[in-house]
């Protein structure tokens, strides 16, 4: 039996890791590939702001699930402390007596092997299987393999991969700036966002696609229209455009849910709706939408609040809240009487448009025999009392 061993911090696991694993299973003819996240790497410190061991393990399980013959092992995390390869080899030799063990590693690890604890023992017990991390690495790998053979009689079998020049460090740095996701498995990215890891913020194109999977198809044009209108209003009035677009994209994520489903979400996220909200369940989606924004995408407060108040409005709204409210109300798919005037006013006088919009909303509800939420009346009064915002 030939077993590959692929250790790493996997903080987070990325497409470079997965590509190397797939190429190794094929290139080395492995019967089994053990992917082993370290507890603490011996050669470097865990990154500040990195993920905890359980999260790395979970993400590694998700990332490698498409790799044939692969098993993600928690043996080093369970052992704890610095994870020395020599100890892992000892444990695996005991578990799989007689198996051929192949140690998979990228260029950086391979070239530093003489710095590993008991490296000569490692070389006598396992085949080294290095792969390139960057174009042009192979020359150095081959030369070093020859040197290790001459010096230690180390068996090295390089694996050919089309290298992907990416590292977990680069991804961790990009994630807070809405980047990095293109090198991650989609489910790993979702895990990172929903667990609030690395300060990650969602890429907006990715977010739009993900939110679409939650909503009814016929609501998508409204979501897109709302985001576009929000961008127009940001061009005029400023604000943190990334946050405002994020709120506009997410704002109706739970709108299609039944009252029962809304109430279940309220329970799940410890939300206690007020009586007026329970009597008019259409209002619940703003609260549950804000809760999901936090739970699924780790949206910051400004985004959650803009979603929270997009239906009723409230007294003393922030710029982001006003823009999302107005974008939702006046985006290009809206056709009610007066919408053109309201749309034009919103780019000349945002607070004036808020007054007009809140008043229109109150009148429309009353005409339909619906008692408006008192918050909307309070919002209107606030805007009347504060004409300068």
Between CA 64 and CA 80 the distance in angstroms is: 22
Site membership for ligand ATP, residue 158 (CB under 6 A) = no
Under the binding rule (CB under 6 A), the answer on residue 10 touching ligand ATP is yes
- Residue among 106, 202, 225, 313 that touches ligand ATP (CB under 6 A): 106
Nearer to ligand ATP, 64 or 297 (CB): 64
Which of 17, 222, 343, 355 is close enough to bind ligand ATP by CB under 6 A? 17
Task: In angstroms, give the least distance from the CB of 147 to ligand ATP.
Answer: 19
Which one of 3, 166, 319, 345 is in contact with ligand ATP (CB under 6 A)? 166
Of 77 and 293, nearer to ligand ATP (C-beta) is 77
Q: Of 15-23, 184-192, 318-326, 329-337, which part binds ligand ATP (CB under 6 A)?
A: 15-23
Q: Which of 51, 101, 109, 353 binds ligand ATP (CB under 6 A)?
A: 109
Q: Does 20 bind ligand ATP (CB under 6 A)?
A: yes
Please report whether residue 131 would count as binding ligand ATP according to CB under 6 A.
yes
| Pattern 167-186, ligand ATP, x by CB under 6 A | xxx-----------------
Q: How far is the CB of 124 from ligand ATP (least distance, A)?
A: 20
113 binds ligand ATP (CB under 6 A): no
Q: Does 129 bind ligand ATP (CB under 6 A)?
A: no
Tell me the H-state helices in the chain: 15-27, 53-63, 75-79, 85-95, 107-111, 119-125, 137-152, 168-174, 186-194, 204-212, 220-237, 241-250, 259-268, 275-279, 284-297, 301-308, 319-330, 339-346, 350-367, 374-385
d(CA 4, CA 69): 10
**198 scored as a contact of ligand ATP (CB under 6 A):** no
Considering only 13-21, 173-181, 229-237, 348-356, which stretch makes contact with ligand ATP by CB under 6 A?
A: 13-21
Two tokens, residue 85: 């390869």
Segment lying near ligand ATP (by CB under 6 A), choices 78-86, 142-150, 164-172, 330-338: 164-172
Q: Which residue stretch of 10-18, 60-68, 69-77, 277-285 sits at the interface with ligand ATP (rule: CB under 6 A)?
A: 10-18
Across the beta sheet with 70-72, what order do the strands follow?
Answer: 70-72, 32-37, 2-8, 100-106, 127-131
Q: Output the six-digit token pair for 170.
A: 């680069």
Nearer to ligand ATP, 200 or 226 (CB): 200
Bin 320: left if φ > 0, else alpha if -120 < ψ < 50, else beta: alpha
Q: Is 355 helix (H, G, I), strand (E, B) or coil?
A: helix
Residue 78: partners with Cβ closer than 8 Å, 6 or more residues away: none
Spatial CA neighbour of 104 closest among 150, 160, 184 = 160
Rule CB under 6 A: say whether 16 interacts with ligand ATP: yes
- The distance of Cα 210 from the centroid of its chain, to the nearest Å, equals 11
Measured from the CB atom, the residue of 110 and 325 that comes closer to ligand ATP is 110
Q: Is 285 in the site for ligand ATP (CB under 6 A)?
A: no
Q: Which of 51, 123, 133, 254 touches ligand ATP by CB under 6 A? A: 133
Task: Answer yes or no whether residue 73 interacts with ligand ATP by CB under 6 A.
Answer: no
Q: Which stretch binds ligand ATP (CB under 6 A): 16-24, 79-87, 174-182, 208-216?
A: 16-24
Report the C-alpha gap between 367 and 357 in whole angstroms.
15
Q: How far apart are CA 284 and CA 18, in angstroms?
A: 42
Query: Per the omega criterion (within 30 degrees of 0), is the bond before 12 cis?
Result: yes
List C-alpha distances in Å: 201 to 7, 75, 127, 299, 306: 28, 32, 41, 7, 17
- In 3D space, the residue among 177, 200, 176 whose CA is nearest the CA of residue 188 turns out to be 200
- Given 25, 34, 77, 105, the residue binding ligand ATP (CB under 6 A): 105
Beta strands 70-72 and 100-106, pairing class = unpaired
Three-state SS for 54-111 is: HHHHHHHHHHCCCCCCEEECCHHHHHCCECCHHHHHHHHHHHCCCCEEEEEEEHHHHH
Establish if 52 lies at the interface with ligand ATP (CB under 6 A).
no
Nearer to ligand ATP, 163 or 180 (CB): 163
For ligand ATP, the binding residues (CB under 6 A) are 8-11, 16-17, 20, 47, 105-106, 108-109, 131, 133, 163-164, 166-169
């Amino acid at each position: 039996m030939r077993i590959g061993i692929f250790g790493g911090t996997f903080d987070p696991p990325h497409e470079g890791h997965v590509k190397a694993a797939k190429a190794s299973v094929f290139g080395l003819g492995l019967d089994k590939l053990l992917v082993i996240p370290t507890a603490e790497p011996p050669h470097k410190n865990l990154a500040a702001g990195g993920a905890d061991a359980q999260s790395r393990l979970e993400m590694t399980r998700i990332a490698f699930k498409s790799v044939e013959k692969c098993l993600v092992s928690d043996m080093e995390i369970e052992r704890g402390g610095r994870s020395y390869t020599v100890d892992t080899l000892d444990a695996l030799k005991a578990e799989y007596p007689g198996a051929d063990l192949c140690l998979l590693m990228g260029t950086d690890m391979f070239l530093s092997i003489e710095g590993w604890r008991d490296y000569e023992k490692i070389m006598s017990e396992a085949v080294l299987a290095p792969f390139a991390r960057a174009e042009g690495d192979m020359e150095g790998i081959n030369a070093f393999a020859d040197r290790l053979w001459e010096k230690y009689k180390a068996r090295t079998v390089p694996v050919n991969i089309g290298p992907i020049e990416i590292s977990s460090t680069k991804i961790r740095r990009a994630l807070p700036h809405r980047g990095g996701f293109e090198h991650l498995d989609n489910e790993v990215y979702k895990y990172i966002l929903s667990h609030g890891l690395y300060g990650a913020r969602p890429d907006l194109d990715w977010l739009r696609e993900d939110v679409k999977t939650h909503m009814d198809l016929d609501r998508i044009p409204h979501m897109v229209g709302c985001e576009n209108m929000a961008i127009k209003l940001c061009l005029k009035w400023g604000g943190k455009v990334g946050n405002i677009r994020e709120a506009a994209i997410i704002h109706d994520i739970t709108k299609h849910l039944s009252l029962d489903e809304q109430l279940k979400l309220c329970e799940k996220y410890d939300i206690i709706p007020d009586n007026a909200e329970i009597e008019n369940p259409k209002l619940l989606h703003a609260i549950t939408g804000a809760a999901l924004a936090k739970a699924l995408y780790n949206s910051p407060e400004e985004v959650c609040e803009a979603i929270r108040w997009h239906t009723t409005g409230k007294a003393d709204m922030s710029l982001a809240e006003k823009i999302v409210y107005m974008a939702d109300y006046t985006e290009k798919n809206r056709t009610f009487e007066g919408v053109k005037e309201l749309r034009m006013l919103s780019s000349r006088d945002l607070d004036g448009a808020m007054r007009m919009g809140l008043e229109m909303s109150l009148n429309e509800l009353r005409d339909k025999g619906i008692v408006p939420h008192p918050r909307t009346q309070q919002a209107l009064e606030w805007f009347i009392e504060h004409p300068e915002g």
